[in-house]
Structure 1
Amino acid sequence: MIKTTKYVLLAALALTIASCNQSGKSEGGETGSDKKFVVGATMLSMQNEFIVNVSDEMEARAKALGVELITVDAERSALKQVEQVESFIAQGVDAIIMNPCEVEASSPAVKLATDAKIPIINVNSETSAKPTAFVGSDDTESARIAMKYLTEKLGGKGNVLIMHGFMGQAAQIKRDNGAKEILKANPGMKLLAEQTGEWDRAKAMSLMENWIQSYGSKINAVFAHNDEMGMGAVKALEAAGLKDKVIVVSVDAIPDALQSVKKGALNATIFQHAQQQGSKAIEIAVKAAKKEQFEREVLIPFQLVTKENVGEYLK
């Protein structure tokens, strides 16, 4: 009788230990509730100050949430970006955040993630393929705000130059659409020339120098798709002694641009909230990975920043 009781107790103990091992620990030794989520992020270019600001906020929010974030630089290459997403899938990450290089060429990455049943969140820019969620701003609206500002400053009549971002990227396409929409509604506003500066300050400066040689005093205004290009345009105009005669507006409200607006060099910038975009992207990625409810689209409004209100945006 005593021997039988002993065997029963040993069997019960073995079952208890097995049960604890199965329910209390994951394969990696973590408790199920304490699983550390891993998010992979591929960013358009870490040479772009605004994108770096988004990335920094993603890192800060991931740390606050106890999430491991692996960030890689696509270096403006959609092909490289697709390969990076493939690598994340092979690593078995819980979610992917993509800051797309191009609307079409980055789209295969969305399908790869979707097929692998890994949530993919597009941040700041879009793809034609629909991701799990999108966090960003309405780029068409940023251009409307910019062109309305120029139209008002010029009294509805003047010659405008447009510096495009990287051709084929969603922001470039939508900002072009928004600008053309306002130009069409204001016949007195003439498009003198348009060309890409590829989001780059040095390239924009060189482009502006060429335009100054070609058009000189005919130039009344410049709309640059981002602040990096806007700052390049300002530098070229200052060197040519034309800045006081040409109005320049750009998008993003990076620190350099805000200081330039404060000094009166750059006339205006359109504030785009890098911090909100970065933090929201991480939050949604984690919720999607946990299969919790999340917002499928988050659009953060743009705001016009001029010398009159720039103090509100300076840190």
Structure 2
Amino acid sequence: MMKSVTLLSSLVFMAILHMGCNQGSSSEQGQNSEGKKLVVGATMLSMQNEFIVNVADEMEKKANESNVELIVVDAERSPLKQVEQVESFIAQKVDAIILNPCEVEASSPAVTKAMAAKIPIINVNSATSAKPTAFVGSDDVESGRIAMKYIAEKLGGKGNVVMMHGLMGQAAQIQREQGAQEILKQYPNMKLLAHQTAGWDRAKGMALMENWIQSYGNQINAVFAQNDEMGMGAVKALTDAGLKNKVIVVSIDAIPDALQAVKKGTLDATVFQNAQQQGSKAIETAIRIAKGESYEKETLIPFQLVTKENLAKFLN
């Protein structure tokens, strides 16, 4: 009898021990080497920008799933404010920092300061000239090529194009222009009639398009807007002027508004940038680095052209 009780006690003890091990492994994914909950600070370019909000939402979701505390702050398009926010994260001794840079050069001191403080810093969606610990995003040159190639094919290789830039000096603006210019060089009968910044903003995109309509009128054959917000502004201005059916408009990001506009036929195409993967992979990378695990120094998520033909797979 004593033997069976002892055996039973041992089995119960082993079961409890086993349960304890299992529970530990599931909750430990968000813990640092001292067993404390990991804290990640994230500074985002602008929470007025729908795509950036989508990335931040995915980061929140992944952080919650991984039992990580995520502190998200809005840089409000100010690189100076962004650098101060990173200094604040360093003072708080966070385990990792995620930077969604406002500018290539002006946001670089944020990276330098974090690296000097030995806190891993992960750039998400956009680059800086200072090299971070890791980068998660997409190749913006590729998106510019995809958009301009579609325009060139639709115009049969000849016509006048206007290009709306994002915030000047930001990586996406520089690289999307680079990709578009590469394609334009291949089509000598395509002319860049005008190009100017509308700061990633819908209202500014609309105002700029209204100015171009006044200046060039029927000479404009296509618009390449470096993001959907500006593209939607251009569509509104062209529609109001009764010119939309004569002008091709292509933009980048595939935000819900843009997908609906492609469905309606007011926006000819958009280029899908995967906010869900950028957000979740940024958090995954931050956790891996903070825990001293192996990680990818560069995670590139491909862009995809979205037209009426393949729209269904991008609509939720």
Is the shorter-chain TM-score for this pair beyond 0.5, marking a shared fold? yes
Distance 2:36 2:169 in 1: 39
Provide the residue aligned with 1:205 in structure 2: 206
Aligned equivalent of 1:40: 41
Distance 2:36 2:120 in 1: 17
User: In the alignment, what sits opposite 1:72?
Assistant: 73
For the residue of structure 2 that corresponds to 1:66, the secondary structure is coil
| Compared CA separation, residues 61 and 165, structure 1 to 2 (3 A) | same
In 2, Cα distance between the equivalents of 1:307 and 1:101? Answer: 32
Structure whose alpha-carbon radius of gyration is higher: 1
Q: Deviations over 1:36-72 (max 9, x none)?
A: 0000000000000000000000000000000000000
Cα deviation code 1:162-218 (max 9, x no counterpart): 000000000000001111111111101100000000000000000000000000000
Q: What CA distance in whole angstroms lies between the structure 2 residues aligned with 1:296 and 1:105?
A: 22
Counterpart residue number, 2:237: 236
| Partner-residue secondary structure (3-state), 1:286 | helix
Distance, in Å, in 2 between the alignment partners of 1:258 and 1:279 is 22
Amino acid at match of 2:281: K
What is the DSSP-based 3-state SS (H/G/I as helix, E as strand, rest coil) of the residue aligned with 1:39? Answer: strand
For 1:307 and 1:110, locate their aligned partners in 2 and report how far apart those are by CA, in whole Å.
Answer: 41
User: Using the alignment, how far apart are the partners of 2:137 and 2:292 within structure 1?
Assistant: 22
2:32 touches 2:290 (CA, 8 Å); kept in 1?
Answer: no
Match of 1:189 in 2: 190
Q: CA deviation at 1:32?
A: 5.8
Q: Deviations over 1:223-261 (max 9, x none)?
A: 000000000000000000000000000000000000000
Aligned 1:1-315 pairs, distance under 5 A: 34-315=35-316
Q: 1:33 Cα shift? A: 6.4
Indicate the percent of aligned positions where both proteins have the same amino acid: 77
After TM superposition, give the deviation of residue 31 of structure 1 in Å: 9.8
> Secondary structure at the residue paired with 1:105?
coil
- Secondary structure in 2 matching 1:36: coil
User: Equivalents in 2 of 1:195, 1:56: separation in Å?
Assistant: 31
Provide the rounded CA distance (Å) in 2 between the counterparts of 1:311 and 1:241. Answer: 28
Coordinate RMSD, CA, aligned: 1.0
Cα–Cα, structure 1 residues 142 and 119, in superposed 2: closer, same or farther, change >3 Å?
same
Q: Which amino acid aligns with 1:66?
A: N
Distance 2:202 2:144 in 1: 19
**Counterpart Cα distance in 2 of 1:33 and 1:289:** 12
Distance 1:86 1:31, change over 3 A: closer
Residues paired across the two proteins, number: 286
Q: Which runs of 4+ in 1 moved over 3 A?
A: 30-34
Deviation at 1:34, TM superposition (A): 3.9
* 2:24 match: none
Which secondary structure state, in structure 1, belongs to the residue aligned with residue 119 of structure 2? coil
- In structure 2, give the amino acid aligned to 1:242: L
CA distance in 2, matches of 1:51, 1:59: 12
SS at match of 1:41: strand
Gaps spanning 5+ residues in structure 1: where?
1-29
Counterpart-to-counterpart distance in 2, 1:74 and 1:238: 34
Output the amino acid matched with 1:201. R
- Cα distance 1:82–1:31, how it changes in 2: closer, same or farther (>3 A)? closer
Q: CA deviation at 1:150?
A: 0.3
Counterpart secondary structure, 1:216:
helix
TM-score normalised by length of structure 2: 0.89
Relative to 1, partners in 2 of residues 1:219 and 1:31: Cα closer, same or farther, differing over 3 Å? closer
